[in-house]
Amino acid sequence: GNSVTQMEGPVTLSEEAFLTINCTYTATGYPSLFWYVQYPGEGLQLLLKATKADDKGSNKGFEATYRKETTSFHLEKGSVQVSDSAVYFCALEGSGGSNYKLTFGKGTLLTVNP
């Protein structure tokens, strides 16, 4: 079945530091890949997505590139802010058939200190 593995947290950074959160996946076919963010006390929000190999998703300074050869979708940001403190989830959606469901990684808690 489909699965997503993302780096264990928590991750603690200082403001303006570089962020990488690793995500790798296992899936058959050509899944779509997502990063969702959950701010404290809220539901999840889509941060970015990529639907085919070599696509780059980007939003709010965050980027991730769909790498089929390494089955990865790592999240990066060049300079984090305190307001980026949240839990980040990597997810995939299977292709075709009845695979219309998101499979999430376990989430990575990011704390950014001023």
Partner 1 sequence: DTAVSQTPKYLVTQMGNDKSIKCEQNLGHDTMYWYKQDSKKFLKIMFSYNNKELIINETVPNRFSPKSPDKAHLNLHINSLELGDSAVYFCASSQGPGSYEQYFGPGTRLTVT
Cα 32 to Cα 87: distance, rounded to the nearest angstrom: 20
Interatomic CA distance for residues 68 and 49, integer angstroms: 14
**Angle (CA) 90 85 104, round 5°:** 15
Which of residues 25 and 89 has its CB atom nearest to partner 1 in the complex? 89
> Would strands 108-113 and 56-59 be described as parallel, antiparallel, or unpaired?
unpaired
Phi, psi of 98 (to 5 degrees): -105, 30
Interface pattern 35-64 for partner 1 (x via CB under 8 A): ---x--xxxxxx--x-x-------------
Q: Which structure tokens are listed for 68?
A: 């089929």
User: Min. distance of Cβ 29 from partner 1 in angstroms?
Assistant: 13
Region of 13-21, 56-64, 75-83, 98-106 interacting with partner 1 (CB under 8 A): 98-106
Site for partner 1 contains 11 (CB under 8 A): no
Query: Contact positions toward partner 1, by CB under 8 A?
Result: 32, 38, 41-46, 49, 51, 87, 89, 93, 98, 100-104, 106-107, 109
